Amino acid sequence: MKKTAMITGGAIRIGRALAEACVVHQYQLIILYNSSQQEALEFSKHLKSSNINHHLMQCDLSLQDQVVNVFENIPDDFKPVDLLINSASVFPETDDWDNIYENWESILAINSFAPLALCQQFAQQAKAEQDYQIINLLDARLNHVQVERLVYRWSKQLLKHMTLDLAKTLSPKIRVNGIAPGAILPPPGKGKDHLNRLADSIPLKKTGSVEQLKRAVDYLISQTFVTGEILTIDGGEFL
């Protein structure tokens, strides 16, 4: 039987890796992207060469009118969506106390409202008795108080609470889980040194990789008795 996974931010970096993890479990893919069209087309070429059924969807998740119509625009062959992975997010460098309102609306729109609206549309189309699941990408740094990336942190805290509350609200039909990565990839524009500098302060004395996040997705797909769980993948950084 066909199964579909939808991955937001699926054209690049962690989102793309998680899409690859779904392929291993025989999902066909819907890849949502916004500005990474080139990368989406390149990923599509790669998927075609391996005969993996997929559909690319361009959507600006900062725009409510686009977000609330995503599921209406899914081709019939990809319905219903069985697995939704909310990975897209924004992490602006200027997100601190002095600039608290600068990116407020767009951060909350992309990191909190868009996942919620997609969860809602996902739940509305999940009709049959099968294993439906939502996986939200959170952040291990939520486990510590920090003074930077404030609005980003608050937007992810909101997503964390939605993850836990929706696990109960949407049960028994839909499982809802989170993955909270630590130092996995340097922020866009920063090099590997950025992560290497962090490694010393991490109890396991190393940073992570997308492979470890793929294993978390493997686990959440296979372990059908888990809901409301947040897997922290951070080498102990925020213990």
Ligand X SMILES: NC(=O)c1ccc[n+]([C@@H]2O[C@H](COP(=O)([O-])OP(=O)(O)OC[C@H]3O[C@@H](n4cnc5c(N)ncnc54)[C@H](OP(=O)(O)O)[C@@H]3O)[C@@H](O)[C@H]2O)c1
Q: b/e string for 122-149 if b means 16 or more Cβ within 10 A? A: bbeebeeeeebbbbbbbbbbbeeeeeeb
Q: Hey, what amino acid is at 69?
A: N
Q: Which of residues 134-153 bind ligand X (CB under 6 A)?
A: 137, 139
114 contacts: CB under 8 Å, gap ≥ 6:
8, 61, 62, 67, 86, 88
CB nearer to ligand X: pick between 51 and 149: 149
Q: How many residues lie near ligand X (CB under 6 A)?
A: 27
CB nearer to ligand X: pick between 26 and 38: 38
Asked if residue 194 lies in contact with residue 207, where contact means CB atoms within 8 angstroms, the answer is: no
Coil, strand or helix at 32 = strand
Binding mask 179-198 for ligand X (x = CB under 6 A): --x-xxx--x----------
CB nearer to ligand X: pick between 173 and 197: 197
Asked if residue 34 lies in contact with residue 70, where contact means CB atoms within 8 angstroms, the answer is: no
Rounded least distance, CB 115 to ligand X, Å: 9
Could you say whether residue 87 binds ligand X (CB under 6 A)?
Answer: yes
Could you say whether residue 15 binds ligand X (CB under 6 A)?
Answer: yes
- Phi/psi at 214 (5° precision): -60, -40
Rounded least distance, CB 120 to ligand X, Å: 17
Rounded least distance, CB 191 to ligand X, Å: 13
Q: How far apart are the C-alpha atoms of 166 and 118, rounded to whole Å? A: 12
**Which residues of the shown chain bind ligand X in the complex (CB under 6 A)?**
9, 11-15, 33-36, 59-62, 87-91, 110, 137, 139, 181, 183-185, 188
